[in-house]
Amino acid sequence: MTAATVGAPGVLQGVGVGRRAVVGPVAQVRSAPDVPPDAAVQVDGRPATPQETHAAVESAFAEVAESLRAQSAAAGGTVGDVLAATAQMAADNALRTQVLARVDAGEPPVAALDGVVDMFAAMFTQAGGYLAERVTDLRSVRDRVVARVLGLPDPGVPRLARPSVVVARDLAPADTAALDLENVLAIVTELGGPTGHTAIIAGQLGLPCVVRVTGATGLEDGVEVAVDAAAGTVTPHPGADLRAELDRRRAADELLTADTAPGATADGHAVALLANVGTPADAERLGGSGAEGVGLFRTEVLFLERTQAPTVEEQAEAYAAVLRALDGRKVVVRTLDAGADKPLAFATQPDEENPALGVRGYRLVRPHPELLRTQLEALARAQEATGTTPWVMAPMIATADEARDFAAQARAAGVATVGVMVEVPAVALRARDVLAEVDFVSLGTNDLAQYTMATDRLRGELADLLDAWQPAVLDLVAATAAAGVEAGKPVGVCGESASDPLMALVLVGLGVTSLSMAAGALPAVRYAVRRHTHERCVAMAAAARAARSAADGRAAVLALADPQVRATLGL
């Protein structure tokens, strides 16, 4: 992830997600229908009656919801989950009822939709976190309903006749899922953030993505652009030199993918290279990735967008599927990480003024102890059914006492290898005490940066503060890793920083024993680690921590990196 910077004239800057780069023609996404608020519904060429208008609006909501459900079923995985959530919004009774009430009172359908959607959008924005991220989905539903009511083409991605760079002000999940993947080279948006839906889905699909690119929608359809996710840049009319450089990088990436050996430094210091997954389908796709296991199984995907928690049987089936897919390789299961930006209809606390600091993650055991009990029981059943022993860890642990209590519950349920996430600075500072209670810890660097820098991780415009290179964040990683070395227990990283080949070297130098990331990031990280000795990694870590700023730290480490690695990976 690369923060927005100032670049060369004509080069558009943004926040890059991933490290791939491509060149291709721009395909601008169709904007919302440009119709006046008082546009009338037509039936057979005449203005509709009030009853016909009511029926048209009601039918439009139903058609949009059904269309999104169909896309969700076809997409599957993370994309399908996100689309299902958007379909649920289109089917929301409160949204539809309030719009129809205005229509029945004589308000034109477009004006009624705008009024209700604006009201809900203001509520979501004020709530912040996950709900704020849903505003794009809400407005996508509005645009699709307007188009259906007025008999206009659905807004969104045009039919792509050739491989193209999709450019939009923002992309709703429904738009992203509608992409013809055979003809999509990259995604560029003016809005969004590095942890928003577009970035997440682009990562899953392996597409280069740059968000928060001011001026992107001003690019003309068909103009050739170079999209470099590693640099966070979009370059119109790329010259021969830039094209040649990106071609070289792509060829190097293909060669790196062929190497699936276990992770280790040049002098044989082992570093387990693992993958992050959210569903059994994600795990099944790891076959040829070279992943040595799963370092983070995000189980909350099973819980989100449901009106009640999945049963023990449902959970056990999903957990067993992941264990079978990994065929004996390590699987680290994170218990339910909900609340804040991932609310649950059946467990979210009402009226939390700051949900990111509220009842989320492991703290849900306070009002809903049955959620953890059920999850641990399901995991134990999956273990028995597969004969594979998983590791389990709890998110949002803040004290050694919480770590002890979680470990006791997990072991009582029959899960022997127990750890916790290090996301709260207090745990990093007291890692020695925490490790006395558990078998391992895993650093969630996204949340650790958020809490260390007092910066909402969903605010794309603050990406510079959330930079993994911030020395204060690295100090906390170092404290945790040192405690792990002292205790002789594993310390992993499963946040975004693990997927950055240069940062991976720093983490190894700090004492981290495993790195877990999106499967597509594994080849570059494996190559970077293999080309440096452990001693050089230690020197890089010291240089990063000695810097006064994130930019200075990265520059100092880059200067110590092997020249061939810099050239091959385009660092």
Residue 531 has pLDDT above 80, yes or no: yes
Q: Where residue 153 falls among pLDDT bands split at 50, 70, 90? A: confident
Residue 147 has pLDDT above 80, yes or no: yes
Residue 494 has pLDDT above 50, yes or no: yes
Out of 197, 368, 532, 534, the active site residue is 197
Residue 6 has pLDDT above 50, yes or no: no
Residue 204 has pLDDT above 70, yes or no: no
**138 compared with 555, residue with greater pLDDT:** 555
Residue 348 has pLDDT above 70, yes or no: no
Residue 2 has pLDDT above 60, yes or no: no
Determine how many CB atoms are found less than 10 A away from the CB of residue 361: 25
The architecture of the domain spanning 12-30+156-238 is 3-Layer(bba) Sandwich (3.50)
Q: What 3-state class would DSSP assign to 14?
A: coil
- Cβ atoms 476, 550 nearer than 8 A: no
pLDDT > 90: what percent of the chain? 54
Highest mean pLDDT among 175-179, 206-210, 467-471, 474-478: 474-478
**230 compared with 228, residue with greater pLDDT:** 228
Annotated active-site residue 532? The verdict is no
Residue 103 has pLDDT above 50, yes or no: yes
Distance between CA 282 and CA 299 in Å, rounded? 12
pTM: 0.72
For residue 564, give both structure tokens. Answer: 């061939």
* pLDDT score of 154: 74
Write down the CATH number for the domain with range 42-150.
1.10.274.10
Distance between CA 136 and CA 125 in Å, rounded? 11
The pLDDT tens digits of the residues spanning 351-384 come to: 666 777 878 788 888 878 899 999 999 999 999 9
For residue 140, give both structure tokens. Answer: 């996508």
Out of 209, 368, 494, 534, the active site residue is 494
* pLDDT score of 5: 40
* pLDDT score of 189: 93
* pLDDT score of 279: 85
Highest mean pLDDT among 236-245, 462-471, 562-571: 236-245
The pLDDT tens digits of the residues spanning 256-269 come to: 888 889 999 999 99
CA atoms within 13 A of residue 561's CA, in its CB half-sphere: 26
Nearest CA to 498 out of 316, 332, 273 is that of 273
Q: Where residue 488 falls among pLDDT bands split at 50, 70, 90? A: very high
**Which segments within 229-329 are labelled E, that is strand?**
233-236, 272-277, 293-298
Burial class (CB within 10 angstroms; exposed 0-12, middle 13-18, buried 19+) of 165:
buried
Amino acid of residue 243:
R
- Give me the mean pLDDT over the 103-131 stretch: 85
- Give me the mean pLDDT over the 173-201 stretch: 78
pLDDT > 70: what percent of the chain? 90
Distance between CA 376 and CA 295 in Å, rounded? 18
- Give me the mean pLDDT over the 511-523 stretch: 92
The architecture of the domain spanning 271-569 is Alpha-Beta Barrel (3.20)
Distance between CA 277 and CA 78 in Å, rounded? 10
Nearest CA to 199 out of 570, 534, 526, 518 is that of 518
**299 compared with 181, residue with greater pLDDT:** 299
* pLDDT score of 258: 81
* pLDDT score of 340: 56
The pLDDT tens digits of the residues spanning 68-89 come to: 888 777 766 666 776 777 888 8
Lowest mean pLDDT among 12-21, 396-405, 503-512: 12-21
* Same fold? 12-30+156-238, 42-150: no
Lowest mean pLDDT among 139-148, 187-196, 242-251, 289-298: 187-196
* pLDDT score of 307: 66
* pLDDT score of 131: 67
Q: What 3-state class would DSSP assign to 25?
A: strand
Lowest mean pLDDT among 390-399, 400-409, 454-463: 454-463
Annotated active-site residue 537? The verdict is no
Residue 59 has pLDDT above 60, yes or no: yes
Residue 405 has pLDDT above 60, yes or no: yes
Q: Would you mind telling me the total number of residues written for the chain in this entry?
A: 571
Residue 249 has pLDDT above 70, yes or no: yes
Average pLDDT of the chain is: 87
* pLDDT score of 7: 43
Q: What 3-state class would DSSP assign to 126?
A: helix
**236 compared with 337, residue with greater pLDDT:** 236
Distance between CA 534 and CA 514 in Å, rounded? 14
* pLDDT score of 347: 67
The domain segmentation of the chain, as residue ranges, is: 12-30+156-238, 42-150, 271-569
Helix axes 369-386, 312-326, angle to 10 degrees: 40
